[in-house]
Chains A and B, each alone.
Chain A
Amino acid sequence: MSKTALIVDDSPTMRQMVAFTLTNAGFTVVEAEHGKDAVNKASAGGKMDIVVTDLNMPEMDGITLIKELRKLSAFKFTPILMLTTESAIEKKQAGKEAGATGWIVKPFNPEVLLKTIAKVLPA
C-alpha cells in the first residue's frame, strides 16, 4: 500500500515540485493550498502518513496548522515536516513547540526532501 502525504503550500509551483518528487517516490499525494484547506482535508478522514507544510500562507499559517493537526486524534503522532526559508532559531522553536516533527530548509533538492521524510517516517 502506498503511503499518503499531505502537501500544504500556497505556491502552486512549490506544491507541484514536492508532489512530483513524492509521487515519483511512490507516495499518494493530497495537496492543500493553505492551513485551512489542509485542516479540512485532514478532518475529512483518510489516513495521512506524513504532512509537509509551508509556513507562510494565507488563511492559516503553517504553525497554526501544526497545532490544529495535533488536536486531531488521527494526526497526534503523524510526522509533520515544515518547509522553511528561515533557518532562524525562532521559527524552528515555534515549530517544535507547535508539534512539528522536523524541518526542511529551502532551498532543498529532491534528495534532501526524500531523505528527511525517510528520517521521520515510520516503516
Chain B
Amino acid sequence: MSNDFAQFQDAFFEEAAEHLAIVEEGLLALEQHPQDLELLAKIFRSAHSIKGASGMFGFTALAQFTHKMETLLDLLRNEQKVVTAAIADLLLKSTDCLKSLMEAAKSGVAVDEETVQRLTTELATASALEPQPPAVQEAKPTAAPARSDGQERTYHITWTPPEWLFKRGLDPLQVVKELNGLGELSAVKLDMSRVPDLNLIDPEKCYLSWELQLLTGRDLKSIETAFEFVREDSKLSIEEVRSTESGGHSDERKVSAGSGGIHHGEGSDPKPLGEILVESGVVSPAALEQALAQQKRVGEILVEQKAVTPRQLEQALHTQRQQEVAAQTKKADSTSIRVDTAKIDKLINLVGELVITQSMLSDLGSRFEIKQLPVLLERVAQLERNTREIQERVMGIRMLPIGTAFSRFPRLVRDLSAKAGKKIQLVLSGEETELDKTVIESIGDPLTHLVRNSADHGLEPPEERLDNNKSEVGTIRLNAFHEGGNICITVEDDGRGLNREKIFAKAVKQGMVGENEKLSDDQIWPLIFRPGFSTAEKVTDVSGRGVGMDVVKRNIEALGGTVSIKTVTGKGTTFTLKLPLTLAIIEGMTVRVGQETYIVPLLSILESIQPKEGAIKTVIGKGELINVRGTYLPMIRMYEVFTLQPEHTSPMKAILLILETEGERVAVMVDEILGQQQVVIKSMEQNFRKVEGIAGATILGDGTVGFILDVRGLLEIARHGAPIAA
C-alpha cells in the first residue's frame, strides 16, 4: 500500500540525514548546556520527524528504535529526567546506531542486532521513572479487515452527538452519508426534541439526535468507523436487530457508547493450511516442518522433468543474481540534491537573458550587412557573458557548503579527546565555503584521518604541553577557503610538529631512503604519505596502524587534488588539501601528436623537457627509459600507443612531458605543447566505450573532439608495453 510513497524515499533519507546531524550536534551542545530546554525540544523534534517518516516507508526497525530515543528525549525535555553524562553518552551511541539502521534501510546491509538490542534495553532502562508508572498505553485498535461474509444484518443505531460538534468542524451529515455508503439506510428519524426555544438557540451548537436503521454486510467495527472522531463524546448505541425467528426475545448485542474496549469476533487473515492442521492437532509441528522441507524449488522441479538442463538453470540463477545486484547498485547510486530556490530563480533569469541575446542575434543574422559587424561582435560578447554565467550557476547547483562535511568533527574530537586523555578544542571556520557535492562526499574520510592523526600524534598530552609553556588545551583548526579555481582545506594543530629525525630513521628502516641520503625538509615530510609508513611507537585505537596517510593522499589525488604539509617543531603542523571545485571540469594542457590534439590534466604535469642525445636507453623487457637528472623514468611514445603519424620520431626533436600520479612518474613524448585551457569532461563509457590510456573526451574550441589522457592508464601501458589496438 505504501508503495505510492516509495518515490519519496530518497527525499526521506536526505531529510533524515539532516535530522540526524541536528540530533548529534544538539547532543554535543547539550553536554555543555544540559539545561537548555529549547535545544532539547529541537533534538526531540528531529528524532520525532525521523520516527514519523520512517514509519511511512515501513522501516519498522528504524521507527521503533527512534521511538525509544524519543521517549527518553521527551522525559528530558519535560524535565522529568536530568541530562547526565551517562544519558548524553547513551543518546550519542544511539544516534550512531540510528545511523547504521538508516544505512541498513537504505542499502539493505545488515545491522548489528546485538547493539540495537542492547541500546534498546539501555534506553528503556534510562527512560524508567521511579516509581515505575503503570504502562498507560491505549489498547491498540487492531485493524481488523472489514468482515464481509456476505451475510447482511440490520443494525439499529441511535446517536446523540455532543453539542460542540460543529465547533470541531464536524458535520453530522457526513456521518450519515458514510453510513449510507456501508449499506442501506432506512427509517432515518431526526429527533429535535432537545432544540430549545428560538430565543435560546445557540446556532453553533448541535441539539439534534438521530435514530437510524442500517442493513449491511459489514461488521460492527466498520459501522463504528463512521463515528471515529465523535464516538467517545457521543451517546451512541449500535444494536444488531436479529431476525424475528428468535421470537423477539432479547438476543441483541448491545454496544454502549464510550466504552473503550469493545471486543468482537474479529475476522483475521486466512492461515496457511499447515498451520490449521497443526492447530487442530491433526499433524505435529515436526511433521509439518519435514513436509515443508521436502518442497522443491521451481528450478529443481524443472530439472527433474528435464525441461531445463542444470547448466541452463545455473545460468538463469546467475542472471537473476546479477539483476538483483544491478538493482541494488542502481538504487544506491541515484542520489538527489536539494537546491535553494533562489539559485534556480537566478538560473531561470539567466536563461531568459540568453534567449533574448539569441533572438537579437537571429534578428541581426536575418538582415545582416557588413557595416553592422561591430554590433554583431558586441552581441557575441554578450552571448559569451551569458554562457559563462550560466555555466557558473549550473555548477553552483551542485555546490554545497562544506559545513556538512565538517559537522561530524565535533563529535569525533570529543570522543578522541576522551580516549586519548587529551584536552582538545576544535575550531571550525569557513563552513559556508561551497564545493561540489561529490567532492564533499569524498573528502569526509581523508579529513577524518587527518583530524585523528592530529589528535593522536600531533597534540601532546596535557602534562607535556604544560611543561612546554603551552596551554593545557590543544587546538585543532579546520578551515576552508577558496583560492583561485580551487578550494583549500587546512587541518592545523598546535602540537609538537613533525619529528624530522624520527621520520628519517623510520624511512631508512623501511628501506624508503638510503642511510646517507641528504634530504631537505620538503623531501622528508612527504615520506609520511608512503604506504606502510607509521612512526607511532605503539598502535593505538585511534591511529597508527600504518595505513591511513597514504590512503589520504591517494583519495585526495583521485579527486584531482594535492596534499601539502607545513610543520614547525614544537609549534604544530598544518595539512593543506587543495581540491578542484568540481570534478566535471579540469584544467588541462593541450598537446599535439601528429594531427591529433590531446589534453593532459595540468595537475599531473611536473615539467616538460627536451632530452639530450644519449639520455634514452632501451632495457629489454622494460622498454625505453629516460635519464632525468639521474633518475630513470619509463618513456612512452604517444604515437606508438595510439598508432598515429607523428611529426617527430626522435625524442631529441619532440617534447617530453614528465607526468606523475600516485607517486610514480612517466615521460610522455608529444610533438608540441599548444596551450592551457579548462575542459569539460565527457565520459567515454557513456558515449563510446572504455579506451585504455584515455580518461574521457571533450569538445575543443574548433568543435573537434579531444581526448583527455589517463595518466594512471599510461603508466600501466608503460609497464606492460602493450600498444593499444586502434
Contact = CB atoms under 8 A, between A and B. Distances in A.
A99 B170 CA distance: 10
Given A99-B169, A102-B229, A111 B1 contact: yes
Contacts of B167: 70, 76-77, 99
B8 A13 contact: yes
B300 interface: no
B712 to A, nearest CB: 41
A101 B169 contact: yes
B48 A122 contact: no
B174 A13 contact: no
Contacts of B140: 87
A96 interface: yes
B11 interface: yes
Contacts of B368: none
A120 B1 contact: no
A16 B8 contact: yes
A109 interface: yes
A106 B169 contact: no
A17 B169 contact: no
A78 B56 contact: no
Contacts of A10: 45, 49
A101 B229 contact: yes
Interface residues of B, number: 38
Nearest to B63: A107
B422 interface: no
A56 to B, nearest CB: 5
Contacts, number: 102
A44 B51 CA distance: 33
Interface in A21-68: 21, 54, 56-58
Interface residues of A, number: 41
A11 B52 contact: yes
Nearest to B50: A11
B53 A14 contact: yes
B481 interface: no
Contact of A11 (B53, B63, B177, B233): B53
Contact of A56 (B12, B48, B58, B173): B48
Nearest to A106: B52
Contact of B174 (A56, A106, A119): A119
A109 B48 contact: no
B228 interface: yes
B174 A85 contact: no
B53 A79 contact: no
Interface string B40-57: 001011001101110111
A120 B53 contact: no
A57 B45 contact: yes
Given A83-B52, A110-B1, 6 more contacts: A78-B169, A79-B171, A110-B4, A119-B178, A119-B228, A119-B229
11 contacts: A13-B11, A17-B56, A77-B166, A77-B167, A80-B168, A85-B51, A88-B138, A107-B52, A107-B63, A108-B56, A110-B1
